[in-house]
Amino acid sequence: MFELKEVALIYETKKQALAALKSTNLIIEQGEEVGVFGPSGSGKSSLLFIMSTLKEPSRGEVKYEGKEITALTPSAKAELRRKEFGFVFQEHFLINHLTVRENILVPIRDKRGIKRRVEEITTALGLEDLLKRFPYELSVGQSQRVAVARALIGNPKVVFADEPTASLDDENGRKVINLLRSYCSKSGATLVLVSHSAEIIADFKRRIKVENGQVYEDTVNA
């Protein structure tokens, strides 16, 4: 599904070039569950952002389903993200003047026939009684569950999650992880989840460590 060849992200300064992500070769197959971990500033989020077309690599090639996606136009990348990818971030990025239901439906252009899907996903996430509320009326845990619903509403083929539990307590954090894993397991979607904590992804089927911009396969518990 994803193939990265010699991908790097370099930030040029007046004094030196800083490598957020060093030359990386990586293959992720459809349906894989991948946990990416490493300390803050290690480059793990850069890896996720490049794979999802949110950042342009300084060099290298990224293929998705056999097609080179770094060469796509900005509008084509946006359309790819809308149709194929779901995103969950540490910050919820909910729109304050929209209700919970309206926030969940932000990625959906054609809302005809979407009522049943909204009912299914909000019931699974325990949000069915909150649909008319606004983000400022929600707890942190509720807001993150709304963000998860928004990410999954369009039945994405790939779910990217960047530190989705960082602002949550252990109980709510585990619920979010389990919900993402459950969706991907049932739908055959690919999950790429970034965390600073190796414990969060301890039982993931595949784990990748990022340290000082270098990507390694984690084989400690393999």
Q: Is residue 22 part of a domain?
A: no
Q: Please report, to the nearest 10 degrees, the dihedral formed by the alpha carbons of residues 169, 99, 108, 145 taken in order.
A: 10
Q: Is residue 163 part of a domain?
A: yes
Q: Is residue 92 part of a domain?
A: yes
CATH number at 185 reads 3.40.50.300
Q: Is residue 83 part of a domain?
A: yes
The 3-state secondary structure of the chain reads: CEEEEEEEEEEECCCCEEEEEEEEEEEECCCCEEEEECCCCCCHHHHHHHHCCCCCCCEEEEEECCEECCCCCHHHHHHHHHHHEEEEECCCCCCCCCCHHHHHCCCCCCCCCCHHHHHHHHHHCCCCCCCCCCHHHCCHHHHHHHHHHHHHCCCCCEEEEECCCCCCCHHHHHHHHHHHHHHHHHHCCEEEEEECCCCCCCCCCEEEEEECCEEEECCCCC
pLDDT at 103: 97
pLDDT at 91: 87
Note the pTM of the prediction, 2 decimals: 0.93
Q: Is residue 168 part of a domain?
A: yes
The tens place of each residue's pLDDT in the chain, 222 residues long, gives: 999 999 999 998 777 888 999 999 999 999 999 999 999 889 999 999 999 999 999 999 999 999 999 989 999 999 999 999 999 998 889 999 999 999 999 999 888 889 999 999 999 888 999 999 999 999 988 999 999 999 999 999 999 999 998 878 888 888 889 989 999 999 999 999 999 888 889 999 999 999 999 999 987 555
pLDDT at 220: 59
Q: Is residue 17 part of a domain?
A: no
Q: How many structural domains does the chain have?
A: 1
pLDDT at 167: 79
Q: Is residue 25 part of a domain?
A: no
Which domain range does residue 167 map to?
30-57+72-217
Q: Is residue 21 part of a domain?
A: no
Sign for the CA dihedral angle at 27, 49, 152, 149 comes to positive
